[in-house]
Amino acid sequence: MEMLGNRRLGITQQQAWEALNDPETLKKCIPGCDKFEAVGDNQYAVALAVKIGPVSAKFNGKVALADISPPDSYKLSFEGQGGVAGFAKGSSSVTLKPVADASPGCELDYTVQAQVGGKIAQLGQRLIDGAAKSTADDFFKRFEVEMQSRYGPSPAAVAESAEAPAAAEPSEKTGAMAGFMRKIGIGRKSDKSASDTEEPAD
């Protein structure tokens, strides 16, 4: 299985780097994660519950970081055993960079290559890929909520909420003006003149 993606985050590159290297944050944000603990230099013990189609399993494994270049990128390798459900192993690369238009926030690029075996492998590639994408989406939703609770709404979200009432204002003014015109008879007059100019039907 291969998966790659790009996400725009409403926090600074440094804030994103710190969060993505914080075991407690990762434990909160990874769906089904019960444990994400440091067991050595850049090595972590992980336990998480996984459900893919009809197969549910508790995986225990480890994650190791390498090629660490703060606050820009790192690579990680992972492997886990899920008993009769099977196993999973693979690698991933994560890259952070400022957004191209120099607005607040940063961009995260990631790639994942993974292999699965056992019952999970028998489920079919489409089901496995769908579960992986759903897990990634769920992770980033949780991550965004966690970052907002820690640092407040992103500047982009604040700007959007500030622009929303302003965008609604012209239509309200237009509605008020139309009502005023109808009140003084302009609207009815135009309707009347239009009906006056109609030719009688033969």
Q: Please list the helix, strand and coil fractions of the chain in percent, rounded to the nearest 5, in that order.
A: 45, 35, 20
Over 70: is that where the pLDDT of 176 sits? no
Give residues with Cβ within 8 angstroms of 95, minimum separation 6. Answer: 72, 73, 108, 109, 110
pLDDT at position 130: 94
Which residues are paired to 79 by β-bridges?
Answer: 62, 89
111-146 as b/e: b if 16+ CB within 10 A: ebebebebbbeebeeeebeebbeebbeebeeebbeb
Amino acid at 71: P
pLDDT at position 105: 92
Lowest mean pLDDT segment, chosen from 15-29, 31-45, 68-82, 147-161: 147-161
What is the C-alpha to C-alpha distance for residues 91 and 81, in angstroms, rounded to an integer? 15
Arithmetic mean of pLDDT, 39-63: 95
